[in-house]
């Protein structure tokens, strides 16, 4: 027991407490906004779930940060198997929440709440790609290396799209792949070739999209689609009205014209919480939100640049890429410049699975902060040399 206590104290001392404080500040701000956004429908349950998730998330932060990155990546095959297993559970136990088109949530008999397995998969996906790229770090642009990366990305994205049809989370995996490939030194020629390949396959990909997904994409480019905002453009119009109604300082918490009327602003505590912030706290509230998340991203990048180890740097950049993508897409969705694909705002939006997985992901970064260089020599001690 004494050794466990000493190890716990050591873990807390070594962890990146600045990163943790930034995450807690964003979570506290998000919880306050959730309390206001769910006031009209009774916010007790939402607050309870978010607070419990935050506490569990902090625990996951320290647990993950205490584990050596090398130990995690050495078990890459197990991580891949866990990710596949989690997504396959959606076949017998998956449910589609009200107002959603995705079968992306698990409702298990022994679990009191639903969980989103793709959020858990994000935690393992980053070290999986980092492990693969570290294998080819001397030449990450060789065809075998790129094909290996594409295999793992295609596996997780393919499973998620086929089983759950959740395009939003699938794009997060793609963003992590692109961010880590770029940071890891993969040649820009591969990115150009990938872009050309996507352009060539676009008609085929388009044919596999659901009708609602096609319409959500087209309204960004075609203003003649649903000009009155009663069908495909409904969410975007409501979001923009809330944002414009807040002005510089907002209408005040618990006083938003649309936020305080249930259903007037769709998903005001999840996907469109940024719009609720704009209405009740104005431009200043939106700016604070973006700066808080940007500070977390910047801290992840800083920890990565501080490490001289290729694999550890990639893990930090992968986490930063996921957070940056979610921030840009969520804000862009709320202001109407990107299609509605249903991504939450990191550390701000309501969601237990999302919040816990985010703390676990930044826990990977905290582990790099605590051990910026490999510590394998501490686990594998070379036998003493004996002269014959």
Q: Could you read off the pLDDT of 169-197 as tens digits, one per residue?
A: 889 999 999 999 999 999 999 999 888 88
Residues 6+ positions from 159 with CB-CB distance below 8 Å? 84, 87, 88
The pLDDT score that the predictor gives to residue 385 is 40
Following CA atoms 336, 279, 358, 83 in sequence, which dihedral angle do they give, to the nearest 10 degrees? -40
The pLDDT score that the predictor gives to residue 115 is 84
What is the C-alpha to C-alpha distance for residues 383 and 40, in angstroms, rounded to an integer?
67
Long-range contacts of 82-86 (CB under 8 A, 24+ apart): 82/124, 83/120, 83/121, 83/124, 83/125, 83/128, 83/156, 84/155, 84/159, 86/117, 86/118, 86/120, 86/121
Q: What is the mean pLDDT of the chain?
A: 86
The pLDDT score that the predictor gives to residue 380 is 46
Q: Could you read off the pLDDT of 266-298 as tens digits, one per residue?
A: 888 988 999 999 999 999 999 999 999 999 999
Q: Could you read off the pLDDT of 103-138 as tens digits, one per residue?
A: 788 877 766 677 888 889 999 999 999 999 999 988
Residues 6+ positions from 57 with CB-CB distance below 8 Å? 27, 355, 356, 358, 359, 360
Average pLDDT for 330-334: 92
What is the C-alpha to C-alpha distance for residues 20 and 191, in angstroms, rounded to an integer?
34
The pLDDT score that the predictor gives to residue 111 is 66
């Amino acid at each position: 027991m004494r050794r466990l206590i000493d190890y716990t104290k050591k873990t807390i001392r070594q962890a990146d407490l600045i990163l943790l404080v930034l995450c807690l500040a964003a979570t506290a701000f998000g919880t306050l906004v959730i309390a206001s956004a769910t006031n009209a429908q009774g916010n007790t349950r939402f607050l309870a779930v978010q607070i419990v998730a935050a506490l569990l998330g902090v625990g996951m932060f320290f647990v993950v940060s205490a584990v050596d990155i090398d130990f995690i990546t050495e078990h890459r095959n197990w991580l891949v198997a866990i990710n596949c297993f989690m997504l396959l559970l959606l076949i017998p136990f998956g449910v589609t929440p009200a107002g959603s088109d995705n079968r992306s949530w698990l409702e298990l008999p022994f679990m009191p709440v639903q969980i989103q397995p793709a959020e858990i998969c994000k935690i393992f996906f980053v070290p999986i790609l980092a492990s693969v790229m570290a294998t080819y770090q001397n030449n990450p642009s060789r065809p075998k290396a790129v094909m290996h990366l594409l295999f793992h990305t295609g596996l997780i994205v393919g499973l998620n799209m086929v089983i759950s049809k959740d395009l939003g989370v699938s794009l997060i995996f793609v963003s992590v792949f692109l961010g880590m490939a770029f940071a890891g030194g993969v040649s820009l020629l591969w990115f150009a070739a990938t872009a050309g390949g996507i352009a060539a396959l676009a008609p085929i990909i388009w044919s596999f999209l659901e009708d609602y997904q096609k319409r959500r994409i087209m309204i960004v480019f075609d203003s003649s689609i649903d000009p009155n905002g009663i069908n495909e453009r409904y969410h975007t119009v409501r979001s923009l009205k809330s944002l414009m109604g807040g002005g510089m300082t907002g209408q005040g918490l618990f006083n938003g014209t649309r936020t305080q009327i249930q259903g007037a602003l769709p998903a005001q505590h999840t996907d469109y919480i940024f719009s609720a912030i704009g209405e009740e706290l104005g431009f200043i509230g939106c700016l604070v939100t973006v700066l808080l998340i940007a500070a977390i991203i910047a801290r992840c990048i800083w920890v990565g640049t501080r490490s001289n180890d290729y694999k550890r740097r990639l893990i930090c950049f992968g986490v930063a890429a996921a957070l940056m993508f979610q921030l840009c897409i969520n804000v862009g969705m709320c202001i109407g410049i990107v299609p509605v694909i249903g991504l939450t705002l990191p550390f701000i939006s309501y969601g237990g699975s999302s919040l816990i997985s985010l703390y676990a992901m930044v826990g990977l970064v905290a582990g790099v902060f605590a051990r910026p260089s490999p510590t394998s020599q501490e686990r594998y001690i070379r036998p003493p040399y004996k002269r014959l």
